Structure 1
Amino acid sequence: MIFVKNVTLRRGVKVVLDSASMTIAPGEKVGLVGRNGAGKSSLFGLLCGRLHEDSGEFTIPKQWLMAQVAQDMPETEQSATDFVIEGDTALLAAQAEVAAAEASDDGMRMAEAYMALNDVGAYDAAARAQALILGLGFSCDELDNPVNSFSGGWRMRLQLARALMCPSDLLLLDEPTNHLDLDALVWLEAWLKNYSGTMVVISHDREFLDAVTGVTVHIDNAKLVRYGGNYSKFEEMRAEQMALQTAAAARQADKIAHLQQFINRFKAKASKARQAQSRVKALERMEKVAPVLADAEFSFEFKEALNVPNPMLSMLDASIGYPASPDASEGTPPTVIVRGINRSVLAGQRIGILGANGQGKSTLVKTIAHALEPIEGELSEGKGLNIGYFAQQELDVLQPGDTPLEHMIHLAKATPQNMRGPGQSGGEQSLRTFLGTFNFSGDMVKQPVGTMSGGEKARLVLAMIVWQRPNLLLLDEPTNHLDLATREALGIALNEFEGTVMLVSHDRALLRTVCDEFWLVTQGEVQPFDGDLDDYQKFLLDEAKRVREAASAAQKLAA
């Protein structure tokens, strides 16, 4: 049992916890939620022993083994498999004891050491590690690749696999889904559901929290408030509490009325098609938790587009991929990932782009956004198409030495007068006011972007997109750095947007709320997906099973 009783915890001059109390029973799976800066990571620091309470009582069973994802970027030439195996601390200890026993020349000690080595699963360690690696989206031919050969996001997946490899009584996960695609996320959910220990997880993915947690602890005003239930149940209970607070309800009345108007309008628009029913369910959830959403500190809206071509764009026999490297020998062909695309995007469509990792979702988005050129075929655009593009790497495009105000001034100078709407003069004061609607107020507008959090950078990118008044929103994993409140605000803004949306995301709540239809990028093709997200999750699990079985068969043949 974990006991936190009347604990006060300070970080510098800030009181993160103030006489806070909670208990976590063995085997409970807890979602830790709260606004950014509320103290979630600080509470993790207390749980893992990195921080110590300033007053009060904190106890955790001394015999518990703890696992968490290391936040440092691994730098090693070890193979992916060997790196993950080393996460099994019990195995490492058993191997060390075998070496010590052999050096001691003590027969009994050696016998006991080898028995212990067998008990900790030494002989299937490689298979267990590789199952984790494959589940998190790696391919079979990458199992023996050096860790240093992978990009940063993939190395963080290896850190996650290493933490899951560790036998533990307490598993601490801080935003474990940030570097995952939807296929890896679905696999991770299934793995965590079978985890038998105690788990505490911080996540801004509501469906992930709903799937893997049964208790929610909310950090609110430096207190720990425990709710029995997953995140959706927590939202409902908290909404009921807030609705009982008459003063708060009165302050929120206008915001709730606006939200209700929006819900009613879009529920009426939704057809009875299977995909649209996901949106209806999401909107019904919003009805239940309207007070919570109205209380959120952040909201925004996309401005009405100045014109709306129809069709937006068309792809005719298009093949997409990557051109040959400049360093490649003459005559080296480009890399084609998807062939023969014949699709049109019409005004008002709301398309979710699905596909397992590496199948070409981002390549498709980059091609539509002109970050890549089609290798073959034709991509034609409607007259007046204005794309608002949020790329996975968009945060890297920001200039770290520039401030939000400087970014907006540069953007305003590059935006022709005839592309601006009412109130978009481009003057410094109007830009300050505009940034204020995205929670950049006071001195924040002059803070270098390089010193900002990922969430703040993502908000700035959204602000820059909104300023451009696009008629087609092309969003590739826009929620990676957004907290739950900002994700909800984005979902509402996207549904109020009258233009066209194309969305790649592992945030299923956002996909359900926004999209009426899906395209599936798989096996070198782009096809409509006739089903909803529940059908797609089943498809992903079946695909993961097929890959595991193929890997197992290949290992047996190699042996």
Structure 2
Amino acid sequence: MDGCGQFLKSEFPLINDDLYEYVEGVLTNGIDDFEDSDELYEAVGAVLHEVAEGKTEDDIREICGKMLDLLRGTNGETSKGTHKVLDAPVHLGSMAANLQDNVEDIKSIWVMQRDEALKVDARKLEKAEQKLLQKQEKRQEFATTNKAAPPIKLQSATASQVTSKKESKMEAKGVNRAQDIRIENFDVSYGDKVLLQAANLVLAFGRRYGLVGRNGLGKTTLLRMISSGALRIPSHVSVLHVEQEVVGDDKTALESVLECDFARQSLLDREKEINSLLNGEAKSNETNLTNELSEIYAALGAMEADKAPARASIILAGLGFTPDMQIRATKTFSGGWRMRLALARALFSKPDLLLLDEPTNMLDMKAIIWLENYLQTWPTTLLVVSHDRHFLDTVPTDILNLQSATLDPYRGNYTRFESVKAERVRNRTREIEAQEQHKAHVKEFIDRFRYNANRASSVQSKIKMLEKLPELKPVEKEIEVLLRFPEVEALSPPILQLKEVSFGYTPEKLVLKDVELGATLESRICIVGDNGAGKTTLLKLILGILSPTQGTRVTHRNLRFAYFSQHHVDQLQMNGSSVELLQQEYPGRPVEEYRRQLGSFGVSGDLALQVVASLSGGQKSRVAFAKMCMSNPNFLILDEPTNHLDIETIEALGHAINKYTGGVILVSHDERLIRMVCKELWRHRNITHNELLTWPKMTDTKIACSPVAHSD
């Protein structure tokens, strides 16, 4: 290396010590990695150009070749020496003693020159390692996308409450037979967020309560706290919370409903057991068994067990189960029908406290009307969360308003609640204004006579009176909900047409026949009909997801659809935040654009950074709307968009649809939304004995929106 170093300094006299040490290190440690002078030039050429005075690239390449020859020897042999053939024994101890003088001799014995063919090509090794790394990344990506997502660990809700010693003693002795439910001075939290604080909940037996409030305030969490026992209620009160769908098995729908009456079912099972014993050979205990059987028959007669199948069948029919469906195995039903089955089981079993969370979400208009009528005669206590205005006006006897982390009770239905609440706000405002005027008058008196000795006692009494005045806090106003759909450019007609369209999943049975539909960017078409009538199928034909069996579909070449499906919320990616969800779906845009898009649908601030799985159903719906509109669509297809939305957001959705400059086709059972936006209403009717379905246009919106006119 000394000779090479001298040659380097002679060729580049301007090279400084730092650059020289760098080049020396490259040459010393990497000489075996360089196959030719070109590779050496790639390693140190850029450095040498900095100190090259008057030298071209070709000159420096030539110098690199000479340096490589100096390091390896002129004949391409390594400077480490050649093989030495021993002709006599060698005493290594004596050679080691003279290590400084005989180092080359020792190397010649032990250091063998490597075969060039066995050397590892550094470039090829690097390329091979890169290919291996890419394969591993592809395998990891494939495994990530094809395996089930790991379970999301969410914070759990917690509850605490204060119970009286009297009630605790009665519970311990088992003598508490109160049918009213009182949960006093309790708190409910979800992680760091306080949902309810020092709240009181009183449910009188036989009354029906509607629980209302904005999305995300904790209505569903409150129901879960009650049903799970986190909030204690009298142990003898039976509670049933309709939240999960029925697990499918071989039992028929009717049998599934009947078996939830445990008292009746246990008596019937014991009856079969006793009859089996009496029909056997053993007759030793015949008298006792006969007496027990008589008691069972008396108990079954008292509870009118023979009428149970008819009652269960009526409930199933009201919820949309046809006679054929009632004898089908539960495992053959979809998730939505299993939820209806869970509701039927709850209505049949009649618990002391029935908890329902958005029961109308899974029902069509006919089933909703039936449920409203059925619940009006509900004999026990009912607590229901709903955002259906008509349902809340029809079913509840009382309204519980969840606001500002507390529960405020109101007598009457939702319309009555709104008027009373507005009157309370006006009264509180007047009280605050009157108190402020009174304070100002008293303070004026105090300031006027503060230094008057004759009025000193009066001044002191006025000051004490001011200190004792109660602090009146104004009623906290809720933030107005605003939704904004994107602005779109006008398109020249025709925009969308279905001409004599028929469709069937099998040739033998058509779902739709001879459908004629035309829409423009001014269209506000609402489609109503029974479940199974083919509403969602029609939407998929409009979108082009399904192809007509007969007929044609014509659309404008610049038409961009946005589809909000019934299960849009369940299809969101739950692991990340709302901002991350939009980034994954529409990458490459500024974060501010994602935040602005979410904000236009009420998902702003820290809410946009929360994990999607931790959001309420209504908040997830808003995220779904924001995602849907990121593509700037000019035609909206909305299938049951009001599910999970609170009343204020449903009204804001109606206003947003009316301001939207694109076309809208809507499937909904929310009568208020239909009345707000509907210009054309399409309903199904049976046209032949084969029950083929079509939608004739109804232009008289007032008549069409009447519940009884939704279907023939």
TMscore range, shorter length: 0.7 to 0.9
Aligned residue number for residue 670 of structure 2: 507
Is 1:163–2:346 an aligned residue pair?
yes
The structure with the largest alpha-carbon Rg is 2
Shift of 1:233: 1.9
Residue by residue over 1:518-559, the C-alpha shift from the partner in whole angstroms, topping out at 9 and shown as x without a partner, is: 10123211112456478652256x97xxxxxxxxxxxxxxxx
Aligned residue number for residue 193 of structure 1: 376
Is 1:7–2:195 an aligned residue pair?
no
8 Å contact from structure 1 (residues 215, 227) kept in 2 = yes
Q: Which of 511, 514, 525 in structure 1 is aligned with 2:694?
A: 525
8 Å contact from structure 2 (residues 352, 381) kept in 1 = yes
CA–CA distance in structure 2, aligned partners of residues 66 and 451 of structure 1: 26
CA–CA distance in structure 1, aligned partners of residues 515 and 181 of structure 2: 57
Shift of 1:212: 0.8
8 Å contact from structure 2 (residues 261, 349) kept in 1 = yes
8 Å contact from structure 2 (residues 523, 663) kept in 1 = yes
Is 1:128–2:311 an aligned residue pair?
yes
Q: Which of 534, 538, 548 in structure 1 is aligned with 2:708?
A: 538
- TM-score normalized by structure 1? 0.76
Higher relative contact order (CA 8 A, sep 6+): 1
Aligned residue number for residue 91 of structure 1: 264
Pick which of 188-197 and 86-95 moved more.
86-95
Counterpart secondary structure, 2:510: strand
Shift of 1:63: 5.6
CA–CA distance in structure 2, aligned partners of residues 313 and 35 of structure 1: 37
Aligned residue number for residue 451 of structure 2: none
Aligned residue number for residue 205 of structure 2: 26
Counterpart secondary structure, 1:187: helix
Structure 2: tracts of 5 or more residues without a match? 1-178, 278-284, 434-474, 687-692
Aligned residue number for residue 76 of structure 1: 249
Distance 1:245 1:387, change over 3 A: farther
Residue by residue over 1:295-353, the C-alpha shift from the partner in whole angstroms, topping out at 9 and shown as x without a partner, is: 3453221132122433431211111343x5xxxxxxxx385211111222233222210
8 Å contact from structure 1 (residues 90, 167) kept in 2 = no
Shift of 1:176: 1.4
CA–CA distance in structure 2, aligned partners of residues 298 and 456 of structure 1: 12
Is 1:478–2:644 an aligned residue pair?
no
Is 1:433–2:607 an aligned residue pair?
no
8 Å contact from structure 1 (residues 204, 482) kept in 2 = yes
Shift of 1:453: 4.2
Structure 1: tracts of 5 or more residues without a match? 54-58, 251-291, 325-332, 415-425, 544-559
CA–CA distance in structure 2, aligned partners of residues 410 and 370 of structure 1: 25
Shift of 1:513: 1.7
Aligned residue number for residue 255 of structure 1: none
Counterpart secondary structure, 1:495: helix
CA–CA distance in structure 2, aligned partners of residues 177 and 401 of structure 1: 28
Q: Which of 579, 583, 587 in structure 2 is aligned with 1:405?
A: 579
8 Å contact from structure 1 (residues 334, 375) kept in 2 = no
CA–CA distance in structure 2, aligned partners of residues 450 and 220 of structure 1: 23
Is 1:516–2:689 an aligned residue pair?
no
CA–CA distance in structure 2, aligned partners of residues 437 and 346 of structure 1: 25
CA–CA distance in structure 2, aligned partners of residues 231 and 450 of structure 1: 30
Aligned residue number for residue 313 of structure 1: 496
Which amino acid in structure 2 is aligned with residue 127 of structure 1?
A
Which amino acid in structure 1 is aligned with residue 263 of structure 2?
A
Is 1:230–2:413 an aligned residue pair?
yes
Residue by residue over 1:491-510, the C-alpha shift from the partner in whole angstroms, topping out at 9 and shown as x without a partner, is: 22112223322110122221
Shift of 1:293: 13
Aligned residue number for residue 550 of structure 2: 376
CA–CA distance in structure 2, aligned partners of residues 407 and 308 of structure 1: 31
Which amino acid in structure 2 is aligned with residue 27 of structure 1?
G
Pick which of 179-188 and 396-405 moved more.
396-405
Q: Which of 25, 40, 47 in structure 1 is aligned with 2:219?
A: 40
CA–CA distance in structure 2, aligned partners of residues 186 and 86 of structure 1: 26
8 Å contact from structure 2 (residues 682, 695) kept in 1 = yes
Which amino acid in structure 2 is aligned with residue 123 of structure 1?
D
CA–CA distance in structure 1, aligned partners of residues 419 and 479 of structure 2: 15
Pick which of 335-344 and 236-245 moved more.
236-245
Shift of 1:361: 0.9
Is 1:457–2:620 an aligned residue pair?
yes
Distance 1:335 1:296, change over 3 A: farther
Pick which of 127-136 and 445-454 moved more.
445-454
8 Å contact from structure 2 (residues 529, 683) kept in 1 = yes
Aligned residue number for residue 294 of structure 2: 111
Which amino acid in structure 1 is aligned with residue 695 of structure 2?
V
Which amino acid in structure 1 is aligned with residue 694 of structure 2?
E
Q: Within 5 A, what are the aligned runs for 1:485-496?
A: 485-496=648-659
Q: Which of 43, 50, 61 in structure 1 is aligned with 2:229?
A: 50
Shift of 1:384: 3.0
8 Å contact from structure 2 (residues 498, 551) kept in 1 = yes
CA–CA distance in structure 1, aligned partners of residues 482 and 420 of structure 2: 22
Aligned residue number for residue 120 of structure 2: none
Shift of 1:99: 5.4
Shift of 1:162: 0.6
CA–CA distance in structure 2, aligned partners of residues 413 and 5 of structure 1: 49
Shift of 1:90: 3.5
Counterpart secondary structure, 1:394: coil
Q: Within 5 A, what are the aligned runs for 1:78-477?
A: 78-96=251-269, 98=271, 105=286, 106=288, 107-243=290-426, 295-296=478-479, 298-322=481-505, 333=507, 336-401=510-575, 403-409=577-583, 412=586, 426-442=589-605, 444-445=607-608, 449=612, 452-477=615-640
8 Å contact from structure 1 (residues 298, 489) kept in 2 = yes
8 Å contact from structure 1 (residues 508, 533) kept in 2 = no
CA–CA distance in structure 1, aligned partners of residues 477 and 673 of structure 2: 18
8 Å contact from structure 1 (residues 386, 472) kept in 2 = yes
Counterpart secondary structure, 2:202: strand
CA–CA distance in structure 1, aligned partners of residues 318 and 228 of structure 2: 30
Counterpart secondary structure, 1:456: helix
8 Å contact from structure 1 (residues 31, 209) kept in 2 = yes
Counterpart secondary structure, 1:295: coil
CA–CA distance in structure 2, aligned partners of residues 94 and 134 of structure 1: 26
Residue by residue over 1:362-416, the C-alpha shift from the partner in whole angstroms, topping out at 9 and shown as x without a partner, is: 11111111221222111112353232221123235434455433443455469xx
The size of the alignment, in residue pairs, is: 475
Aligned residues with identical type, % of pairs: 36
Distance 1:243 1:467, change over 3 A: farther
Which amino acid in structure 2 is aligned with residue 525 of structure 1?
T
Residue by residue over 1:126-147, the C-alpha shift from the partner in whole angstroms, topping out at 9 and shown as x without a partner, is: 2222222222122322222211
8 Å contact from structure 2 (residues 559, 635) kept in 1 = yes
Shift of 1:64: 4.9
CA–CA distance in structure 1, aligned partners of residues 313 and 266 of structure 2: 21
Which amino acid in structure 1 is aligned with residue 708 of structure 2?
K
Distance 1:240 1:388, change over 3 A: farther
Pick which of 473-482 and 343-352 moved more.
343-352
CA–CA distance in structure 2, aligned partners of residues 140 and 539 of structure 1: 24
8 Å contact from structure 2 (residues 484, 656) kept in 1 = yes
Which amino acid in structure 1 is aligned with residue 186 of structure 2?
T
8 Å contact from structure 2 (residues 524, 665) kept in 1 = yes
CA–CA distance in structure 2, aligned partners of residues 124 and 63 of structure 1: 26
Shift of 1:15: 4.6
